[in-house]
Chain A
């Protein structure tokens, strides 16, 4: 222990920065190298990696501010890393989530064929994410950021090696966002005249700055899974292993995206509250949260429902940060932390149910609360948090976002509140259907077989649920870390403790009450928890809209693919045309000339001589013309 603490303090934590990136990568390779049969060894290395990462993250957390720079590629592209408030905070947050989900995965993936590869991609993701958080050079950050696409693709093809549609969809959407990010970074660097991230400060959002801002914004929100880069997430819920959902779309991708978004808004660009660009960001946030939660409302599968919430929650964060008000940014970041906690917990409990019953389809399970009480408890706490019930953490962060929204424009506040209503309603439905009501199980599962999840899976869920309570009741703990990130912008305000505006709290409580009333009405009408929101789903007008949405009519990827197909067809036509020129036209022309020339040589000497004299005449003409 002494050795470790000595190591942690040597060199002001500089060597930690290498270790944070290199160690997971090396251990990832080791995981891949260990033979398939020895699952225990694989899992051992994997746990060692996430635990070590957690310890080193604490080391980074304790280390003083520092920057390091290794000359690399020239053109100012240097391997620059930096420890300061923000990277400290985000690295430790990521390390905790990675540790908990990792612990869960070891138990969840036992006896799964793809476990070794999953561990490899998991640790690769960790190494790249750490690199992206710690980078202090735009190009280096982009390198790690784009590298994440590799592990994303890898994890998505793990289960269905033959069906890569979801993986392709994810890589197309995320790749588009990353491409925009690359453009944005190029423009930002040109605008600022440097590639060092700590040297780019408060660029004006106008002219090329506006374009650069929008492109970088697209990269950030694309990683976070906001609209219009979202549509692969619900598909992944069906296709990818569950720990993947808990790790990437629920937690780590949000952290990456929101981290970059906050850096853009706070550091790189000078975004003024009420400006056009601020409005753009807020609209993206509002649209995302509203439509995603509308879709979540009608889902009948746990994982799919949660995946839509993973999209909608990011809408709150973007809305909050987009206001560019201190309260909004603090609220957005706080919401990011809270979302990581409760969304992880929700996915993990869904995973526990899947492990016990073999399904997450709400139509086939019910009354699990009695059989899996601890899972049920964790789920309920997390659900209360996401629904924004005091005194859980989600309530406090949501109130901050509401505060910022109403300060910007009432419309945004109304949308956010309607979103909160639907969130609460959907979780009432989910909780009711899964844990309460009459016991219902798939036909092939016996009641005696359904047991509480093992300790290694329960522990992360319990810790996360506990954190939801702690971060709510004692919200000064996280906020004391978040608020210094804003620096001077904060102007001495303190958002810890009970929300400042009592009116907003009352409205929120009223909305929750409405959701409960709505649930009771729905339950009365249909007699089943799962159908509690069917009166909204099948309301005239909405029913058709929902139908279209379920048929992917509004999926940006599918719309894009229509254009891609048209473009591909055009390219095909052009290719055929060029091919025709080479394969048909040129051949015909050549053989036409060849045949003519062949027929021209008749064997007639007089003809040859005539042609020779024509040639002579041609020479005479040439001489006469040119002398």
Chain B
């Protein structure tokens, strides 16, 4: 058993590293055309491995499994180590899935700087996998920075003015966030003397802090820092600019997973490992921030004129739902948050892939210049409708179930008003997506678009595959939920 578990670490951390080394040893000249398959393989292998991890956890009935491959755990109790539990496994699956989709999109878009893109993407995957695996706050910070730096480079990949501007905004805001997070970590370290999740949790649960004020300050900074990283209103300013200015395959991975890993995953970790049921003010703070994000994101999305910008604001709104679910501090809310995380990775990636298809085939993402593409681009149109129905929470698609759990949890924790606002915002979701669908896909064809064809290759494949995930997971959701609950994993 331990052997099978231990080998997992090689696929999560080792495989991307190995790919980078191989690519650069052989060199750009020979490897340029193998970049997309290799990147895709990394993503698929990671997704498959995470499924295997999940099955192993189920089989051996364990809540989590720890690795100490690089550090000897027996030397010091303070040593850092990796660990995979159910939440990590789901998140790792999302990373693999979105990575594969991003590489397929890059192949479909005939990315010019494929070699550079692949290298940085693999570092990004490494960083995100690290975030999912670590068990102490400082390692978390290190991998956050790796993820962040890789993202800045990717956004500015083409070195055009728009990309550089978006990248710069993200960089500046991330620097502020890093400062906040580091400050928060240092305050916690002053109290605890350790940044391991279990040590911090023990200190918080026992309420043994010598200076409670420090803990409050620490959380104040952590909340602000992670909020900037996840793009929660009012810390969200950089997010739409960065998403819009990034090249298509990069916005797929940014919108699908990066900001979620960098911010929301940490918030879920904090709520699930440290704060289940205690420190109600922090719960309240996250709840208010989540609601604000839901409503503001949805309202702002309605007026946008760019396909990708609408998706960006939609991301803000959906991140709000995840934070709202996590903020309830209840089991059902956390399950809802994690599953919405997964669903969001699925449907938002689908939509970004669709926007890439539209951009590739028509040369624009401005919705006023698009129209009636449904006939010419049936795959894109249908997968986009499925994804938007899932986002809006229409049964039986996957998005419905996670949103339902979140709203139930919100009702239990915050009363009908909170749940009602979250519910009404769903209508806004439907409103901005209907507008998007109508302007881009429905109605008569614009004259200058009459020769447009469906995008082929990687883009279509990933759109179909992701739509299939949305539908299948939606249909099997009750079963999955029962399995997870029966094993006590969530």
Contact = CB atoms under 8 A, between A and B. Distances in A.
Interface of A: 590-591, 593-595, 597-598, 601, 603, 605, 607-609, 611-612, 614-616, 618-620, 622-623, 626-627
B465 interface: no
Nearest to B235: A612
Interface string B226-262: 0110000011011011000000000000000000000
Given A597-B300, A615-B227, A605 B172 contact: yes
Closest 8 CB pairs of A and B: A608-B237, A594-B303, A597-B300, A594-B302, A615-B234, A598-B303, A626-B281, A616-B224
Contact of B281 (A590, A608, A609, A622): A622
A614 B169 CA distance: 18
Given A615-B224, A623-B216, A597 B285 contact: no
Interface string B282-306: 0011001000000010011111100
Nearest to B180: A616
Contacts of A626: 281, 284
A622 B304 CA distance: 32
Contacts of B216: 623, 627
B220 interface: yes
B141 interface: no
B469 interface: no
Given A590-B299, A590-B428, A597-B296, A619 B176 contact: no
Contacts of A607: 237
Given A605-B238, A612-B176, A627-B216, A594 B228 contact: no
Contacts of B288: 622
Given A615-B235, A620-B220, A591 B240 contact: no
A149 B25 CA distance: 92
B431 interface: yes
Interface of B: 165, 168-169, 172-173, 176, 180, 216, 220, 223-224, 227-228, 234-235, 237-238, 240-241, 281, 284-285, 288, 296, 299-304, 428, 431
Given A607-B237, A619-B224, 4 more contacts: A598-B300, A601-B241, A611-B234, A619-B285
Contacts of B234: 611-612, 614-615, 618
Given A601-B240, A612-B173, A615-B235, A622 B285 contact: yes
A598 B237 CA distance: 11
B300 A612 contact: no
Contact of A612 (B220, B224, B285, B431): B224
B237 A627 contact: no
B288 to A, nearest CB: 7
11 contacts: A590-B302, A594-B299, A598-B300, A603-B169, A605-B172, A612-B224, A615-B227, A616-B224, A619-B223, A620-B220, A622-B288
Contacts of A598: 300, 303-304
Contacts of B304: 598
Nearest to A604: B237
Contacts of B296: 597
A595 B165 CA distance: 23
Contacts of A618: 234
A611 B176 CA distance: 12
A462 to B, nearest CB: 73
Given A609-B173, A611-B235, A615-B234, A623 B168 contact: no
B42 to A, nearest CB: 33
B242 to A, nearest CB: 11
B220 A611 contact: no
Given A623-B220, A626-B281, A627-B216, A597 B235 contact: no
Contacts of A620: 220
B105 to A, nearest CB: 26
Nearest to A599: B303
B253 to A, nearest CB: 22
Contacts of A614: 234
A590 B220 CA distance: 32
A616 B184 CA distance: 13
Contacts of B235: 611-612, 615
Interface centre among A593, A603, A609, A612, by most B CB within 10 Å?
A612
A593 B300 CA distance: 7
**Interface SS, A side:** helix
B389 to A, nearest CB: 21
**Interface SS, B side:** helix
B228 A612 contact: yes
A618 B281 CA distance: 13
B285 A623 contact: yes
Contacts of B176: 609, 612
Contacts of B241: 601, 603
Contacts of A608: 169, 173, 237-238
A616 B222 CA distance: 10
A16 to B, nearest CB: 56
A607 B303 CA distance: 20
A25 B252 CA distance: 70
Nearest to B432: A594
B300 A601 contact: yes
A585 to B, nearest CB: 15
B74 to A, nearest CB: 40
Contacts of A594: 299-303
Contacts of B169: 603, 605, 608
B302 A591 contact: yes
Contacts of A623: 216, 220, 281, 285
B237 A612 contact: yes
B220 A619 contact: yes
A591 B305 CA distance: 13
Contacts of B237: 601, 605, 607-609, 611-612
Contacts of B431: 590
A450 B92 CA distance: 100
Contacts of B168: 605
A607 B236 CA distance: 11
A605 B303 contact: no
Nearest to A612: B235
Nearest to B238: A608
Contacts of A595: 303
Nearest to B227: A615
Given A590-B299, A590-B431, A622-B288, A605 B173 contact: yes
A611 B223 CA distance: 15
A252 B296 CA distance: 70
B156 to A, nearest CB: 15
Contacts of B300: 594, 597-598, 601
Contact of B299 (A597, A605, A609, A619): A597
A597 B165 CA distance: 21
Contacts of A597: 296, 299-300, 303
Contacts of B284: 622, 626
B172 A609 contact: yes
A626 B285 CA distance: 10
A601 B304 CA distance: 11
